[in-house]
Structure formats: C-alpha cells, structure tokens
Amino acid sequence: FTSCCPAWVKFCETRYPELADNISTCRSPQQMFGAVIREYYRNPEINQGKKLVSVSIMPCTAKKEEILRPESMTNGRQDVDYVLTTTEVASMIRKSGIRFENIDGESTDMPFGIGSGGGVIFGVTGGVTEAVLRRLQTGHSRVEMDRIRTSGVRGDEGLKELTFDYMGKEIRAAVVNGLGNADKLIKRIQSGEVSYDFVEVMACRRGCIMGGGQPVGAGPRTRKARAKGLYDTDVNMQIKKSNENPMVLALYEGLLKGKTHQLLHRNLGVTEN
C-alpha cells in the first residue's frame, strides 16, 4: 500500500492494524521534503546563522496532524513546523492585500526548484501509480509515456485495476480513492477474492485535488479543471520521471548518502543498507 496519504495511513492503522505492515515505509512527500530541507540548512555555510522555520502549503487538513507523528520525525525532531492549507493561504493573500498583478515573477529558489512531472501528478488519483510505472519503465519516449497514460491508471472512478509488465513479470495494481472504496477493496483482498502487487490509496475522492484543505463547493467542472491543471503541467515538464531529476540524483550522491532511511523512510526499525 502507498504511504503518501496520512488519512489513509491512520485509517489502516486503526481499522485494519493487521495490514499496517503492508504500507510502504516511504515517508510522504511532505515528510521527505521537510527532512531534506532541514538537513540541507543544517550546514552553517548555508543557513548563515539564521533559524529555519519550515512551512508546508497543502491541499490537506490531515497533513497538519502528520507532522506530529513520531515515526515521521527525524531523530525525534519535528521536520515541518507549520502546515497551511491552500484555502488558508488564499485567505491570507486576500487579507494582506497582495495583488499578483503588481508582483514581479521570479523562479523558485535553487537547488530545490527542479521537479518532475511524476511529482506533479501525485495530486490526482492514479498519479502515484503512474509515477511508479514511469520509474519502472526503462525508456521515456512519448510512446512509452502514452502507454502508461492509457493503461487504465487515469480517470476519476473510485477503483481502477490494471496490470503492467515489468521485466517479464505481470504486476497487478489497484488505484482506489475515497475511504469507503478502500474499505470495500480491503474486504475483497482479505476474502481472497482479489490480490495485487501494488495498491494506491487516497482518502479523498479523486485524490488531493479534492482534499479537505482545498476551496469547498467544487462541482464537476472544477474537479475536472483541477485534474486537467496537473496533467497539463506534466505535459509541459521536460523531466517526467523522478529518477531522471538531476536534483534528486545529486541529493542521493551527496546530502542523502548513508541517510536515506533516516531521512526518507518512516522510523519503523528499518536499518540502513
């Protein structure tokens, strides 16, 4: 089971504790990035004596609780200090009178300003699975990306099932969104009716685009536009796979060397290798 949705992780731990060991040990994107940022700014040459305060902006209210989960902390230390929802940030922007038309645009601070399409599409149901399929796929041509896109991973159904070939082995995956749908799927898994190698679960219907921190009252047109916004952004990104992001590769060769489990995985007694 995927581990990027804290509401799902909590649901599994409380409703199906016997399955909790099947959840990936990977921290969520928020917790991975929080740990990496904190580690990066520990260097006195980089922090220049300034105190770091880490603030996430998220579509999700469950992310506020996630930063306090002990197994997602680094050496017992909280990595992310505050979480603001997108609705809260929008309200702060309005209240402070910021007018975007009067602001000069600028690029994201380096070295963390380079992302991949695989990261962008995490926000819509099926996006995590699609990013994993991209990672497994050796090539990155348009034909190969299209094959993944049309594999059944996209669409806003509550449950999608697909198979894909990985080095001659058939991998069976399920993509489920909404905890009611997840509950039904788990019962089918436990009864032996179905089995999968990989299951993506998002607690919110249609994924984070419809998270509890997003503006409420989104109808069908808005829902569609939010998903389209992410997919359109992905189309224009030159880097499609996280493992081809030069920034990620540089991190593994530098800052993360010998610390991948400490910083990127939940603290479940996993040892470094």
> Interface residues with ligand SF4 (CB under 6 A)?
5, 7, 59-60, 62, 202-204, 207-208, 211
How far is CA 120 from its chain centroid? 9
- By beta-carbon proximity to ligand SF4, the closer residue of 167 and 216 is 216
Q: How many CB atoms within 10 Å of residue 34? A: 26
Q: What does the alpha-carbon distance between residue 85 and residue 137 come to, in Å, rounded to a whole number?
A: 34
- Cβ proximity to ligand SF4: between 7 and 256 the closer is 7
Q: Where are the alpha helices (DSSP H) in the chain?
A: 6-15, 29-40, 44-47, 62-66, 86-95, 117-120, 127-136, 142-148, 179-190, 220-235, 246-253, 260-264
Pairing outcome for strands 169-177 and 159-166: antiparallel
C-beta of 126: minimal distance to ligand SF4 in Å?
A: 12
Residues pairing with 165 in the sheet = 170
Q: By C-beta, is 140 or 228 nearer to ligand SF4?
A: 228
Contact 65, 6 (CB under 8 A): yes
Residue holding tokens 């603030």? 55
In angstroms, what is the minimal distance from the CB of 176 to ligand SF4?
A: 11
Q: Whose Cβ is closer to ligand SF4: residue 82's or residue 166's?
A: 82
Residue nearest to ligand SF4 (CB): 211
Toward ligand SF4, which CB reaches closer, 145 or 176? Answer: 176
